[in-house]
Each structure stands twice: as structure tokens, then as C-alpha cells.
């Protein structure tokens, strides 16, 4: 198993040819596909002949970026995937973050955990300058993951037919599904560093010394030891 990244509860590993059924199963759930295709599954043949081979080729061409299978450490279960890679024709130091998890894995913080770890690795090891991510305006779960990873809204835009064609080359259905906008979020390295410094200051024992003194001043309730 080619592990790319490990978090407290997740392993992100390279895909292999044996993952076809995992992908078919993931993309067969209408709830998972709701904000992607409106519900219809990705056809097996497309996963087998286009998507999975593209994921596998990517590891050879672009070290450090690509699609990563998310495995729950406690159970060894395939939970879905994250991608972290420059968009087609985009700058190499501005990867796009994305994720798709099985419904059984939702609401446990996995989306946030994997995203934060990829962003950290990007900024500290992969020479990334800026991370971007986009989703449909009503995909609140996805937007919350972006926000909890420190990203902020940059713009809303209406995808063009060419955008749909590049994301769903096998089907024109999504064009008929959406009447709202896509939202794009981003995080610059300098902002991520600033957020990290601010968060460290909140940790117990890292308070500003002046504040610590103030909290000991007479009249302030001091918690018992």
C-alpha cells in the first residue's frame, strides 16, 4: 500500500486497479452524487476506462499531487477520496482540493481532517502557494469543510457548458440540473500561516503573558487547580 499521508484517523493512499468496485460503489449513491450530477451514478465504464486510469497515470507524471483513496484506520474501510492537484492547465503551485466520501462516513469530521492535512502538506512540503476549491452553492457540507480548513469565499460563478463538458464528458445531464452558481474558495500560504499562529496562541499554556497576568488579577475568578 502506497500511503501518501496519515492523519489521526485516516490513511490517504494511492489508488490501485483493485479500487474499481470501491469507486463504482461510491458513485452509485444518489446522495453522494446529488451536487455533482443531480443523483445519477458515474457509469462503470467511465470509471474503469477513464477516471481510474487517469488517477493511476497522474502519480507518474506529478509527484505529490493527485487523487488519494481515504481509508479509515480503525476499520481498514474505503471511505472515498480526496484530490489535491493543479487543475488542468493551471499553475503548479495552486492545487485544487476536492473530496467525495461515502454517506456512512459523513458527519464525523473526516472531510475536514483530510482537507486540513492535505493543505498542511501542500504548504509545508509541496511548494504550494495557494489552495482553491469549488462546489455548488447549496452544497453546505462541502462549503463548511472549506471554511473549517481555513478557506474563504472568493467568487460565485455560473459554470459554462464547456465547464460541464470537462467535468462530465459522458453526459450532458448536469447542465439541466443546475440553476444556481458554483462558489470558489481559496487559501493563501501567508494566511494559513497567520491562522496557525493565531490558533497556537489559543492553546493552553500559550496565552499572551500580559493576558495571563490579567487573568490572575484580584477580582477575576481563578479556576481551582
Ligand X SMILES: CC(C)(COP(=O)(O)OP(=O)(O)OC[C@H]1O[C@@H](n2cnc3c(N)ncnc32)[C@H](O)[C@@H]1OP(=O)(O)O)[C@@H](O)C(=O)NCCC(=O)NCCS
| Window 73-102: residues binding ligand X (CB under 6 A) | 80, 98-101
186 interacts with ligand X by CB under 6 A? no
Closest C-alpha among 123, 184, 119 to residue 152:
184
Least gap, CB of 100 to ligand X (angstroms): 4
- Single out the residue of 51, 110, 107, 100 nearest to residue 75, CA to CA: 110
Rounded Cα–Cα distance for residues 175 and 129 (Å): 32
Nearer to ligand X, 129 or 148 (CB): 148
Total binding residues toward ligand X, as defined by CB under 6 A: 22
Q: Distance between CA atoms of 126 and 42, rounded to whole angstroms?
A: 31
Q: Under rule CB under 6 A, which residues in 47-76 are in contact with ligand X? A: none
- Quick one: which of 111, 122, 150, 174 contacts ligand X (CB under 6 A)? 111
Question: Residue 150, interface with ligand X (CB under 6 A)?
Answer: no
The C-alpha cell at 68 is 488519494
Instruction: Name which of 112 and 175 has its Cβ closer to ligand X.
Output: 112
List interacting residues with ligand X (CB under 6 A): 32, 35, 80, 98-101, 106-112, 135, 139-142, 144-145, 148
Amino acid at each position: 500500500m502506497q500511503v501518501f499521508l496519515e492523519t489521526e484517523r485516516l490513511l490517504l493512499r494511492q489508488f490501485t486497479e483493485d479500487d474499481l468496485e470501491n469507486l463504482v460503489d461510491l458513485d452509485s449513491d444518489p446522495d453522494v452524487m446529488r451536487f455533482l450530477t443531480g443523483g445519477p451514478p458515474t457509469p462503470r465504464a467511465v470509471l474503469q476506462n477513464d477516471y481510474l486510469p487517469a488517477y493511476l497515470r497522474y502519480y507518474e507524471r506529478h509527484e505529490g499531487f493527485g487523487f488519494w483513496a481515504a481509508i479509515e484506520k480503525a476499520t481498514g474501510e474505503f471511505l472515498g477520496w480526496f484530490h489535491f492537484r493543479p487543475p488542468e492547465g493551471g499553475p503548479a503551485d495552486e492545487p485544487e482540493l476536492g473530496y467525495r466520501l461515502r454517506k456512512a462516513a459523513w458527519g464525523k469530521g473526516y472531510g475536514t481532517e483530510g482537507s486540513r492535512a492535505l493543505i498542511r502538506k501542500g504548504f509545508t512540503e509541496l511548494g504550494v502557494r495557494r489552495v482553491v476549491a469549488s462546489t455548488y452553492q447549496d452544497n453546505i457540507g462541502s462549503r463548511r469543510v472549506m471554511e473549517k480548513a481555513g478557506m474563504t469565499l472568493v467568487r460565485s460563478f455560473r459554470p459554462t457548458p464547456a465547464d460541464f463538458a470537462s467535468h462530465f464528458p459522458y453526459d450532458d445531464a448536469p447542465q439541466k440540473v443546475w440553476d444556481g452558481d458554483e462558489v470558489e474558495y481559496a487559501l493563501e500560504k501567508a494566511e494559513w500561516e497567520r491562522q496557525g499562529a493565531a490558533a497556537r496562541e489559543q492553546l493552553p499554556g500559550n496565552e499572551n503573558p500580559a493576558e495571563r497576568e490579567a487573568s490572575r488579577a484580584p477580582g477575576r475568578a481563578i479556576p481551582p487547580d
